[in-house]
Amino acid sequence: MKTLLAHTKEINEQLARYGVKFGIYKDGTFNERLFPFDPVPRQIPEKDFAVDELGNIYQDDEVVSNIGIFDVEDYSSLREFANNMYVPEDGIIASDSSVLQGVLEGSNVNVVDEMVEMITVTRAYEANQKLIQTIDSDLERAVTQVGRVS
């Protein structure tokens, strides 16, 4: 354990290098912060902990950690940071979401509907591609045959 603690700085440098960070936009400036990291992982046996609806993690009736749940006041204030990642420009607020321990969240996607939509989009793409090829060949024929004398 002493070896891990001795390498905390190096571990944080590696995390920073490989993008394990989060950002906050505030007052028009972007502040990049490293996720808090403890080199010694906290391992809590499942039978020995509980999570309440607010995300507080209890062990022996004492709060040992918290799952951060937040929301943004104005979704239009979100700025794109990277590929499909957004950060709030203004402050964040407490969320009205809750955490349920031992519950498996169902998918919010209907696979059949998405598959049908994907097939529809693919067919529309292919039809447009064929249309562009037809127009291209007509234009090519017009250019090559307009100057030709029979």
Q: Which two tokens stand for residue 105?
A: 């969240």
78, 87 Cβ separation under 8 angstroms: yes
pLDDT score, position 34: 65
pLDDT score, position 128: 95
User: pLDDT tens-digit profile of 57-72?
Assistant: 888 888 888 877 778 8
pLDDT score, position 134: 94
Handedness of CA 44, 40, 34, 80 (dihedral sign): negative
User: pLDDT tens-digit profile of 69-84?
Assistant: 778 888 887 877 666 7
Rg (CA), the chain: 27
- Secondary structure (H, E, C), 83-130: CCEEEECCCEEECCCCCCCCCCCCCCCCHHHHHHHHHHHHHHHHHHHH
54 by Cβ neighbours in 10 Å (0-12 / 13-18 / 19+) ranks as middle
Tell me the C-alpha distance between 99 and 79, whole Å: 27
- What does the CA dihedral 138, 143, 149, 150 come to, rounded to 10 degrees? -20
Tell me the C-alpha distance between 112 and 120, whole Å: 12
Positions of the chain with pLDDT under 50: none
pLDDT score, position 63: 86
Domain boundaries, the chain: 109-150
pLDDT score, position 130: 95
